[in-house]
Amino acid sequence: MASSRIRIMAKRLPAFFKKLPLLRLLLAVVGGVCSSLAMPREGIWPLIFVSVALLLASIYRQKFSTALFIGFVGGLSFYLSQIEWLSLYLGPVPWLALSVLEAAIFAIGMATTAAVWAWLDQKLPKTWAGASLTALTISIIWTSREWVSITLPYGGFPWSRLAQTQSESILAKWVYLGGLGWLTFLVAALSALLVITAISFFKQGFRIKHLALPAVSYALIFAIPALMFIPSNAEAGTLTVGSVQGNANAGLFSNEVRGTILNNHLSASKLLQSLPLRSSMDVVVWPENASDISPLSDIGAAAKITDFVDNEIKVPLILGGISSRGEELYNSSVLWEPGVGPTDWYDKKRPVPFAEYVPDRDFWYQLAPDLIGLVSRGYNFGTRDGIFSIQNKADAGVLICFEIAIDDIGRDLVSEGAQVIFSQTNNADFGHSDETYQQGAFAKLRAIETGRAIVNISTVGLSMVYAPDGTKLDSLPVFEPGAMITQVPLRTSKTPAMIIGSSVDLFFNLAAALITMIVLMTWLRGRKRGSGR
């Protein structure tokens, strides 16, 4: 039975591909590639509107199955072009595998969009109101699909978000009101309006009235943040933070001589002595994996750090390293205080799947034993809060690496009382690629969203400090040892995004599910009537 179905499908495939309009496929590929140019480091952020518009145009008035295929091609182009840096870490296989998985989710979202769009074209009047409702519905489905991509499976891939492209545009301020999901929704809505307007031109010819709706929409969505004031004053005083970039080869598979990475950061920390605010420094922050020997279990490493803290900086040090408790390993951040030693620690709550641990290892090992075998040790999921008390002066929130891209991590830190956020990261595996610049975009957006200054300190860069309104306060060049001492404001109030951000995400997901169900039920009723005749 199954073999006969496969033979039937195989016979139909040539006809299916023959019917595929090549122009649609070209639009999907070009749209996907355009998205990468909108991302940092290229940062041509207006291109994201062109990208999404082309992707949407590629599936307009296509059947579900055809839109599914075109959407997959567009999704593959979208992800492959954006995350090529992943191949620098484990080679092309993880890059291709992740892109294919995300493209499959992307394809389902695009096919759903095509079906809903066709239904709306039948039901809604050809007016401004109809065009607006269509654009808003399309953007709701896009935003919901993005949420699925950044959440599922295994915690999802919290990257390649439309909001990420807008870190350097005036639209970045929108995350203050509703979070990154809200900004993605607005970008998708403007893009949908762009393609709906273009379709009207093709159908009815150029008419000046067709420009009214997109012109007003673009004007409002750009004007509101331009006039918006985002507070960044010090509500609870200031904290003077020293941060050190050791320029260490701290990749997961680096073969440095044991202790080299720790020594790099000790050496780079001497640069703090010559900086203007040295005498008022309250805390020093090292990046993720700054010590390749755990000072919690190695006497020699502990002695070096104790000497450094007690005799050189004489203020608390927050450092990243690998810790163990029994047989369990953790990617940790440790608070080391003068005259006391380690007093608190945070374990990364969201280790990266297939890099820091392998979910369902037995299953995946059968499919790719050489690749899975490279990840020989798995880090456990942390359960402790990420709040460190800094000499009774501040409650600092700590997160590690890709956690800067996870919405819930930032929300949790603010709700737990973080007045400033330290983002410790290790970008050594990704060389001179765009990855660190894309991660830096998240740091800026997260500062605006949370209303907290963010110190993003990396082993090799990009390291930077952002004020709560997204203003860059300090930075270090990549792949150079360096140090910063920055006075940052401490804040206690919550931004609108911290209050309603999770509700905004829930609304988009429920709305997308409801719209899809209505269209599906309408289609099923139509088929039932047709079969009854």
pLDDT at 13: 47
pLDDT at 249: 81
CA–CA separation, 127 and 531 (whole Å): 34
For the stretch 82-121, what's the b/e string if a residue is b when 16 or more beta carbons lie within 10 angstroms of its beta carbon?
bbbbbbebbeeebbebbbeebbbbbbbbbbbbbbbbbbbe
Nearest to 454 by CA among 495, 446, 415, 395: 446
CA–CA separation, 452 and 386 (whole Å): 15
Q: Are 318 and 333 in contact (CB under 8 A)?
A: yes
What are the tens digits of pLDDT across the range 269-291?
A: 999 999 999 999 999 999 999 99
Angle at 126 between CA 120 and CA 127, to 5 degrees: 115
In whole angstroms, how large is the CA radius of gyration of the chain? Answer: 25
| Element at 94 (helix H, strand E) | helix 92-123
Of 122-136, 190-204, 368-382, the least confident? 368-382
pLDDT at 377: 76
Question: Which residue bears the tokens 């929704």?
Answer: 185
How much of the chain is in helix, strand and coil states, percent to nearest 5?
Answer: 55, 15, 30
Please list the residues that pair with 394 across neighbouring strands.
390
Of 108-117, 153-162, 207-216, 251-260, the least confident? 251-260
Domain boundaries, the chain: 19-230+503-532, 238-492
> Mean pLDDT, the chain, as a whole number?
92
User: What is the CATH topology of the domain spanning 238-492?
Assistant: Nitrilase/N-carbamoyl-D-aminoacid amidohydrolase (3.60.110)
Distance from the first to the final alpha carbon of the chain? 29
pLDDT at 347: 98
Tell me the three state secondary structure of residue 403: helix
Phi-psi region of 362 (alpha: psi -120 to 50; beta: other; left: phi over 0): alpha
pLDDT at 191: 98
* pLDDT score of 41 more than 90: yes
Q: What are phi and psi of 77, to 5 degrees?
A: -65, -40
pLDDT at 524: 85
What are the tens digits of pLDDT across the range 104-148?
A: 999 999 999 999 999 999 999 988 899 999 999 999 999 999 999
Share of the chain above pLDDT 90, in %: 79
> Which is it for strands 283-285 and 387-390: parallel, antiparallel or unpaired?
unpaired
Residues in contact with 261: Cβ distance below 8 Å, sequence separation at least 6, in sequence order: 246, 248, 249, 250, 254, 289, 290, 291, 292, 459
Tell me the three state secondary structure of residue 375: coil
* pLDDT score of 340 more than 80: yes
Nearest to 39 by CA among 53, 51, 27, 28: 51
Q: Are 185 and 507 in contact (CB under 8 A)?
A: no
pTM here is 0.93
> Which is it for strands 420-425 and 394-400: parallel, antiparallel or unpaired?
parallel
Of 192-201, 395-404, 417-426, the least confident? 192-201
Of 240-244, 321-325, 334-338, the least confident? 321-325
- Count Cα atoms within 13 angstroms, Cβ side, for 259: 8
Helix ranges, 308-389 (H): 361-367, 369-374
Residues in contact with 100: Cβ distance below 8 Å, sequence separation at least 6, in sequence order: 76
What are the tens digits of pLDDT across the range 75-113?
A: 999 999 999 999 887 778 889 999 999 999 999 999 999
Q: Which two tokens stand for residue 6?
A: 């496969």
pLDDT band at 350 (very low <50, low <70, confident <90, very high): very high
Q: Are 523 and 115 in contact (CB under 8 A)?
A: yes
- Count Cα atoms within 13 angstroms, Cβ side, for 510: 6
Share of the chain above pLDDT 70, in %: 94
What are the tens digits of pLDDT across the range 432-456?
A: 999 999 999 999 999 999 999 999 9
Report DSSP letters for 107-141, one per residue: HHHHHHHHHHHHHHHHHS-SSHHHHHHHHHHHHHH
Nearest to 180 by CA among 156, 167, 163: 163
Tell me the three state secondary structure of residue 214: helix
Q: Which two tokens stand for residue 232?
A: 């960044």
* pLDDT score of 466 more than 50: yes
Q: Are 69 and 107 in contact (CB under 8 A)?
A: yes
Of 124-128, 232-236, 500-504, 512-516, the least confident? 124-128
pLDDT at 5: 57
Length of the chain: 533
pLDDT at 363: 86
Q: Are 321 and 292 in contact (CB under 8 A)?
A: yes
pLDDT at 257: 84
In the β-sheet with 238-245, what is the strand arrangement from edge to edge?
Answer: 341-347, 328-337, 317-325, 283-285, 238-245, 482-489
* pLDDT score of 165 more than 90: yes
